[in-house]
């Protein structure tokens, strides 16, 4: 069985996550020839998560006051169960064998139990596989909405180590942008889309997670056909807030430290009927820990949907264009302001034209945040 980085707490955390600091959170999409809605391209670091069905039934009063942030943060996420990201042969003295594939496991399955015991880390699975010494074991897994129970026997590779022939992932880390903070509840929202596994495009099922202070060190400038990205470092030793939901409309949690919001004033959240094409701004953190305001244009509105692409935007700020080339990965979640109100957040960049991208309505994020908070409290 192949190893993957996950240790929940402890000194091993820094080493486990340090290798993925370059993971930036923003979807990249290809623009269709007609200039209308875009088709999804491979989007490193996230996927759309099935939206919480309860969200639409929650009566959230649009127009409440929240604090727009635009601050880049480190994000770490630990999965609920262990995600299968691939299958591979085990090279044995009798040739290649496929115990994981042959028992029915597929990429995208989430392993939740081995021999009836709950598992959340790769290390736990490795220990149980080693203990079996080639004897049969049972695997409980989730595939979409289906519960699976499978049986297989690990096989020894040429070095005598027992393996299942599966690639696993149980954690992710990266840099993204916090959209807003609600001073009444302490809830924060970020990204405007879910965090997805880079190999399977599956939404990472969340067991626990946190945001941490980050510093943007440099920017890879975006060009046509190749989105840019923010590079940075974050402090793994101190959490600023706790994550409790990873959804297709953003990630949500509780802010534990107030340093991100010091000196900032709340603004009204725009109702969708108040949003119009024309001039707007975004708040984004593209150097150090400084949040700056940049000019954009809202060029098209898609206000009927509840998804992540309700606004088409174009960067017009010359300073931002010179530094980043437009929208880059890591800016996902940057608040969009118009007429003194929070109207949305940046979510996607067009691969063919990094000056353009999409944004989600703040209204949709507010509704989802409220739904997740109620679910957390129930």
Q: What residues contact residue 261 under an 8 Å CB cut-off, 6+ apart?
A: 67, 69, 181, 183, 255
Among candidate residues 332, 334, 348, 370, the one labeled active-site is 332
Provide DSSP, 330-357.
T-TT-EEEETTEEEEEEEEEETTEEEEE
Catalytic residue among 120, 171, 182, 193: 193
Question: Is 113 one of the catalytic residues?
Answer: no
First to last CA, the chain: 38
Six-digit token string for 173: 């880390």
CB 337 within 8 A of CB 267: yes
Decide if 332 contacts 193 (C-beta within 8 A): yes
Torsion angle of alpha carbons 370, 77, 196, 349, nearest 10°? 80
**How far is residue 328's CA from residue 286's CA, in Å, rounded to a whole number?**
10
Helix (H, G, I), strand (E, B) or coil at 365: helix
109 counts as catalytic:
no
Query: What sign results for the dihedral spanned by CA atoms 86, 139, 150, 126?
Result: positive
Pick the catalytic residue: 109, 317, 353, 370?
317
Q: Examine the residue annotation and report whether 304 is marked as an active-site residue of this protein.
A: no
Structure tokens at 309: 């692409």
Cite the active site residues: 193, 317, 332
């Amino acid at each position: 069985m192949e190893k993957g980085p996950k240790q929940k707490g402890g000194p091993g955390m820094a080493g486990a996550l340090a290798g993925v600091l370059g993971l930036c959170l923003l979807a990249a999409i290809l623009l269709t020839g007609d200039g209308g809605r875009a088709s999804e391209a491979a989007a490193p670091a996230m996927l759309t998560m099935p939206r919480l069905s309860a969200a639409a039934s929650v009566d959230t009063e649009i127009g409440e006051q929240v604090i727009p942030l635009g601050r880049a943060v480190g994000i770490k996420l630990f999965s609920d169960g262990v995600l299968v990201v691939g299958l591979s042969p085990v090279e044995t003295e009798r040739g290649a064998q496929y115990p994981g594939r042959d028992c029915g496991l597929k990429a995208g399955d989430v392993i939740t139990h081995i021999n009836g015991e709950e598992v959340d880390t790769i290390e736990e699975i490795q220990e149980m596989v080693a203990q079996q010494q080639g004897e049969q074991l049972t695997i409980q897994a989730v595939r979409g909405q289906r519960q699976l129970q499978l049986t297989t026997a690990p096989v020894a590779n040429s070095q005598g180590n027992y393996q299942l022939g599966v690639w696993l992932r149980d954690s992710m880390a990266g840099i993204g942008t916090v959209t807003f903070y609600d001073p009444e509840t302490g809830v924060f929202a970020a990204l405007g889309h879910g965090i997805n596994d880079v190999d399977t495009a599956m939404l990472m099922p969340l067991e626990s997670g946190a945001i941490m202070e980050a510093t943007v060190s440099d920017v890879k400038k975006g060009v046509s056909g190749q989105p840019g990205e923010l590079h940075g470092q974050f402090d793994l030793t101190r959490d600023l807030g706790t994550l409790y939901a990873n959804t297709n409309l953003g990630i949500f949690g509780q802010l534990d430290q107030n340093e991100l919001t010091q000196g900032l004033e709340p603004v009204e959240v725009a109702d969708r009927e108040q949003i119009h094409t024309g001039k707007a701004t975004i708040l984004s953190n593209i150097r150090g820990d400084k949040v700056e305001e940049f000019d954009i244009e809202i060029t098209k509105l898609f206000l009927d949907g509840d998804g992540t692409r309700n606004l088409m935007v174009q960067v017009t700020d010359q300073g931002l264009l010179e530094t980043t080339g437009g929208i880059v990965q890591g800016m996902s979640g940057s608040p969009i302001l118009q007429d003194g109100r929070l109207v949305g957040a940046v979510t996607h960049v067009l691969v063919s034209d990094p000056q353009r991208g999409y944004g989600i309505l703040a209204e949709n994020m507010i509704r989802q945040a409220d739904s997740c908070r109620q679910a957390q409290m129930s």
